[in-house]
Structure 1
Amino acid sequence: MSTTRIVVIAKAPQPGRVKTRLIPALGAEGAAALAARMLACTLAVAFEAAGAADTADPALGVVELCASPAPGDPAWQGVVVPAGLRWSAQGEGDLGARMAGAARRVLAGGERVLLIGTDCPALDAACLRTAAEALDEVEAVIVPSFDGGYVLLGLRRFDPSLFEGIAWSTSTVAAATRVRLDALAWSYQVLPALQDIDVPADLVHLPSAG
């Protein structure tokens, strides 16, 4: 059975460059601080899922941070990450191009892939393991977000149509992706929707910092 790599697509938590739609509510520094907290939580959950899998069925393997700017850039100085984290560079292009590059590379290396961001505190280790297990039976798995996007896309094969011509950061992303999957005649599973944190109204869904 192929292992499944968790690839976290993330920007360095720099003020004015991350969570910009939250700046009206939190300010640039506050939005960046929240981004840093969510990145840390996402990486911890990914390692929890992978570690739990190691004790039973090795369905989950490496955790990778696909970073913008590239690893080694001063923007990442001071960002603490778990031991054993793999790093990669997102590269150029829109979000779709960057996600496609990561998915293509991982799948070409013989692993399956779960692509996630850092915007969904509700995406827990159990959900990651469920998504990985779904790929034993289907070719793709999606965890939608309530705003019409998705917080996870899992794949065991690659096709560029899943990433091209998508209106990213809109309410049509998940539906458009499902249309593409239907056109490919791939089997896929849709898991229950989760809440992500993108705009000030979403802040009520943040878990307590304590």
Structure 2
Amino acid sequence: MPAERPTEPPHLHLLAKAPLPGQAKTRLAPLLGNEGAAKAHTELLRHCVATACQALPAERVTLWTALDHAHPLFIELREQFDLTLNAQPDGDLGARVRYALNSTPGPAMLMGSDCPSITSALITTCAQQLASYHVVILPAEDGGYGLVGTQQDYPTLFTDIPWGTQSVLTTTQQRIKALGLHAAYPATIWDVDRPEDWQRWKALVNSV
């Protein structure tokens, strides 16, 4: 049976690196250079935070920082949107995702900063779906996912996952099935990882 409806809307956690040249969005460097890739990361992060805070009150949004926790961009976003900043802990991506999801009481969702195809309306849909399902996931075109939401702690969803490969989603779905959980997949999204993804995003922005 689907899970019972939680009494409060979920908390949304965002993971982001500081926009340091040579360390952020490095796969965009062949097109944009290291400085340009860092600027692209800045643009994507600003868009991500604005979208999150449009979907949920700022007190329900936490930005988890990496590389330089006191970077001016993080401070700017905290002051502009009045959201919470936390430093990402050590560990692989799965450990950091699980830690963030369980850092706040009740149901929670998490997304990266490089998925501009996730709109505020889609975040709202995910929050609504999480009221009826144990897990909510937005599958990505590359075989991963752009957002995950859980009602409580399910450790094996994030342990020994082949992060960064095309098997992330299918492996996670196998874990969901093994645990007997009910999951919702409201939409398929795409992220900005490669030069062609960045060009896709800019074409979309310029068409508006």
TM-score of the superposed pair, with normalisation by structure 2: 0.89
Matched, 1:16 2:14: no
Structure 1 stretches lacking a partner, 5+ long: 52-59
Q: Is the 8 A contact 2:18 2:69 kept in 1?
A: no
Match of 2:167 among 172, 184, 197: 172
Question: When the two structures are aligned, how many residues end up with a matched partner?
Answer: 196
Question: CA separation of 1:78/1:130 partners in 2, compared to 1, >3 Å: closer, same or farther?
Answer: closer
Matched, 1:198 2:204: no
Q: Is the 8 A contact 1:70 1:90 kept in 2?
A: no
1: CA distance between counterparts of 2:14 and 2:173? 21
Match of 2:178 among 173, 180, 183: 183
1: CA distance between counterparts of 2:30 and 2:67? 24
Question: CA separation of 1:70/1:184 partners in 2, compared to 1, >3 Å: closer, same or farther?
Answer: farther
1:95 alignment partner in structure 2? 93
Matched, 1:105 2:103: yes
Shift of 1:175: 1.0
Q: Is the 8 A contact 1:4 1:61 kept in 2?
A: no
Match of 1:5 among 8, 11, 18: 11
Shift of 1:119: 1.1
2: CA distance between counterparts of 1:192 and 1:47? 20
Code of the aligned partner of 1:208: V
Shift of 1:120: 1.1
User: What are the within-5 Å matches in structure 2 for residues 54-69 of structure 1?
Assistant: 62-69=60-67
1:36 alignment partner in structure 2? 42
Shift of 1:98: 0.9
Deviations 1:44-90 (A, max 9, x none): 00000014xxxxxxxx9511001113633xxx124420331111111
What's the secondary structure of 1:105's corresponding residue? coil
Question: CA separation of 1:19/1:31 partners in 2, compared to 1, >3 Å: closer, same or farther?
Answer: same
Question: CA separation of 1:15/1:70 partners in 2, compared to 1, >3 Å: closer, same or farther?
Answer: closer
2: CA distance between counterparts of 1:71 and 1:24? 27
116-125 or 61-70, which deviates more: 61-70
2:132 alignment partner in structure 1? 137
Matched, 1:208 2:205: yes
Match of 2:122 among 127, 144, 148: 127
1:47 alignment partner in structure 2? 53
Provide the aligned C-alpha RMSD in A: 1.6
1: CA distance between counterparts of 2:149 and 2:10? 9
Identity %: 34
- Stretches (4+) displaced over 6 A: none
Shift of 1:111: 2.4
1: CA distance between counterparts of 2:166 and 2:153? 24
TM-score of the superposed pair, with normalisation by structure 1: 0.88
Structure 2 stretches lacking a partner, 5+ long: 1-6
Question: CA separation of 1:70/1:34 partners in 2, compared to 1, >3 Å: closer, same or farther?
Answer: closer
Match of 2:151 among 148, 151, 156: 156
1: CA distance between counterparts of 2:67 and 2:20? 11
